Chain A
């Protein structure tokens, strides 16, 4: 895998019982780009997201995340079921047991991938700053004794975490709300706080699940600015699901169109705009017309 590609998905399949949500999804996300995943309702966009971010463990296919200087197999770190071959080679068995015990979604985040949620999931009864501090869990001093005795090193680490938190609050324009409860914020503010919180985990790729849903045009404009800033100034790769075509077309470098669990088209905004298959998927054309 080349350094160019930060996330590569190959032949991803996801079945829920008899329902095939994803059949065969392959896509590559370039480093330092903004990519969008679009498609009609029920196309499987959120399922792809949940597989990428480690919330579903895929039925088939591979997901390779190439961030923080190493390559991570997303399917493996979630803990796969045992196979016959495991019982012949002890190292393989041990690694599988390890991931079964300690693996999970959190390892995907630690590998450098952060996400937001379609239905906002903030820690509603904690303050805005605390939300951002929780997200920096892996970056601060977690030594129990240091914390209990409130040592100098502990205070310094906490202070740095606060600096970092306030930096992102400035970016998303929420400094005034720092000491409010997350649940009290307006809808648009909550969406922005969720992005700030995801950024506090210091990822290299961020997946935004319908970030503009429910926002008014000004807020959407502000959001687009933030997303571009993430790419341009923080060397980040952004992958988003979005229904607001105006926004998708204006900010994306690369667009992947999904329908019925299959990738039906991918390419730049111009190419996608004129792709007959995409138009058909959205307008619900008959199958024959496509051919």
Chain B
């Protein structure tokens, strides 16, 4: 195993962890209302802007300690992005609960156009960025070369893991989680049992947005730059991750994210960087053809 391979695996894992976090939003929304949330990529993009804005504001108050900066950014970004998730559901999905199958998809696409363009108009079309927050790296010498594991990447992996663990706890062991799972299984029955399913669906959007916000902060830390168009490609890739892992399955989303991240990093180092997005999209099509239920998903049985 040479250094480049290991380095790309590390890069891929960090990237994949972030894909996984965004994929959770797709998977949960799909699980509960059986629909792809096309505006989810835009939620991530908004959170990237929010994290840069928070950082800029905090920095202007002279705050320099990394833990405080990152904590403030995370809290603020997750809170506001969560509200975005709620608003998106309220505007683009809730009025269409009993409509044709196509209507919510189209309104979600409309929503995603609105969000993109609104950010473009208010923040300008140029690329934005954040300063590096965590300097330094671990260096591992392997043979001729060395592998670099920046502190930022370590932080991303830890934060993504903590985020996943928290979410798993919420879904598995809290009342809210039980309500979510019940609504996912059978919405009508859940509402007969006194669960306010409309509210549960809202919560799911908020949770998905919060996870995307975490991803937004982490990715912004790692790459430093983003623009109003960033949500589009990452959105499709996160969706690919969700499908790869098995849509509707939370561990699947994370696993799919990691696999996709590593595969993409290896592809861009071994084959061609320009075509790495093409590679991911092709992967999506191939999964859909050969294993539509994904790695951890259950095969779909049509109700007749």
Chain A residues in contact with chain B, CB under 8 A? Answer: 16-17, 46, 50, 55-56, 117
9 contacts between A and B (CB under 8 A): A16-B301, A17-B298, A46-B304, A50-B304, A55-B302, A55-B304, A56-B301, A56-B304, A117-B304
What residues of chain B lie closer than 8 Å to A55, measured between beta carbons?
Answer: 302, 304
- Known A55-B304, A56-B301, A117-B304; 6 more pairs at CB < 8 Å: A16-B301, A17-B298, A46-B304, A50-B304, A55-B302, A56-B304
A203 shortest CB reach to chain B, Å = 18
How many Å lie between the Cα of A232 and that of B74 in the bound state? 75
Closest CB in chain B relative to A121 CB, distance in Å: 9
Rounded to whole angstroms, the CA-CA distance of A17 and B302 in the bound complex is 14
**Which chain B residues lie closer than 8 Å to A46 at the CB level?**
304
B279-304 contacts to A (CB < 8 Å):
298, 301-302, 304
Q: Which residue of A lies closest to B301 (CB)?
A: A16
| Chain A binding surface SS class | loop
Q: Which residue in chain A gives the minimum CB-CB distance to B100?
A: A125
* Bound-state Cα–Cα, A56 to B301, Å: 8
Listed residue (B298, B301, B302, B304) with the most chain A CB atoms within 10 angstroms of its CB: B304
A63–B304 alpha-carbon span in the complex (Å): 19
How far is it, in angstroms, between the C-alpha of A17 and the C-alpha of B299 when the chains are bound? 9
A50–B304 CA distance with the chains assembled, in angstroms: 8
Query: How far apart sit A117 and B303, CA to CA, in the bound complex (Å)?
Result: 11
Report the Cα distance A16→B299, complex, angstroms: 10
Residues of chain A with a CB closer than 8 A to B302's CB: 55
Q: How far is the CA of A7 from the CA of B245 in the complex (A)?
A: 41
Residues of A within 8 A of B301 (CB): 16, 56
Assembled-state Cα–Cα distance A245/B144 (Å): 84
Q: Which 3 A-B pairs have the closest CB atoms?
A: A55-B304, A50-B304, A16-B301
Q: How far is B303's CA from A46's CA once the two chains are assembled, in angstroms?
A: 11
A78 to B: closest C-beta gap in Å: 13
Nearest CB of A to B102, in Å: 13
Complex CA–CA separation, A46 to B304 (angstroms) = 9
Q: How distant is the Cα of A46 from the Cα of B302 in the complex, in angstroms? A: 13
Determine the distance from Cα of A24 to Cα of B178 in the docked complex, in whole angstroms. 37
CA distance A116 to B304 in the complex (A): 11
Closest to B302 in A: A55
Complex Cα spacing A16 to B301, Å: 9
Interfacial chain A residues near B304, Cβ < 8 Å: 46, 50, 55-56, 117
Nearest chain A CB to B98 CB, angstrom units? 14
Q: How far is the CA of A262 from the CA of B185 in the complex (A)?
A: 28
Return chain B residues, CB-CB under 8 Å to A16.
301
CA distance A117 to B298 in the complex (A): 26
CB distance from B140 to the nearest CB of A (A): 45
> For the complex, what is the distance from the CA of A17 to the CA of B304, rounded to whole Å?
18
B253 to chain A, nearest CB (A): 21
- Chain A residues with CB under 8 Å of B298's CB are 17
B23 to chain A minimum Cβ distance, whole angstroms, is: 24
**Bound form: Cα–Cα A17–B300 in Å:** 11
Instruction: For the complex, give the distance between the alpha carbons of A56 and B304 in Å.
Output: 9
0 or 1 for each of B57-71: is its CB under 8 Å from A? (1 = yes)? 000000000000000
Contact with A along B23-48 (1 / 0, CB 8 A): 00000000000000000000000000
Contact with A along B205-223 (1 / 0, CB 8 A): 0000000000000000000
Inter-chain contacts of A50 with B (CB < 8 A): 304
Q: Which residues 249-304 of B sit at the A interface, judged by CB distance below 8 A?
A: 298, 301-302, 304
Q: How long is the Cα–Cα vector from A182 to B15 in the complex, in angstroms? A: 52
Output the nearest chain B residue to A50 by Cβ-Cβ distance.
B304
Chain B 148-171: CB-based contact to A (< 8 A → 1; otherwise 0): 000000000000000000000000
Chain B's nearest CB lies how many Å from the CB of A183?
13
> Which residues from chain B contact A117 at a C-beta distance below 8 Å?
304
Q: Which residue of A lies closest to B304 (CB)?
A: A55
The interface residues of chain B lying within 8 Å CB-to-CB of A56 are: 301, 304
Q: Once bound together, how far apart are the Cα atoms of A99 and B39, in whole Å? A: 38
Shortest Cβ distance from A53 into B: residue: B304
A46 to chain B, nearest CB (A): 8
Whole-angstrom distance between the Cβ of A274 and the nearest chain B Cβ = 34
Closest residue to A125 on the B side, CB-wise? B100
| Bound Cα distance A55, B304 (Å) | 8
Within B212-248, the residues touching A (CB, 8 Å) are: none
How far apart are B304's CB and chain A's nearest CB, in angstroms? 5
Q: How far is the CA of A208 from the CA of B301 in the complex (A)?
A: 21
> Shortest distance in angstroms between A21's beta carbon and chain B's nearest beta carbon?
11
CB distance from A214 to the nearest CB of B (A): 18
Distance in Å: Cβ of A276 to nearest Cβ of chain B? 33
Q: Once bound together, how far apart are the Cα atoms of A50 and B302, in whole Å? A: 10
Report the minimal beta-carbon distance from B179 to chain A, rounded to whole angstroms: 24
| Cα-based distance from A55 to B302 in the complex (angstroms) | 8
**Min CB–CB distance B185 → chain A (angstroms):** 14
- How far, in angstroms, from A56 to B303 measured CA to CA in the complex? 10
Q: Give CA–CA (A94, B240) in the complex, Å.
A: 31
Cβ-closest chain A residue relative to B298:
A17
A277 to chain B, nearest CB (A): 29
Return B44 CB to nearest CB of chain A, in Å: 34
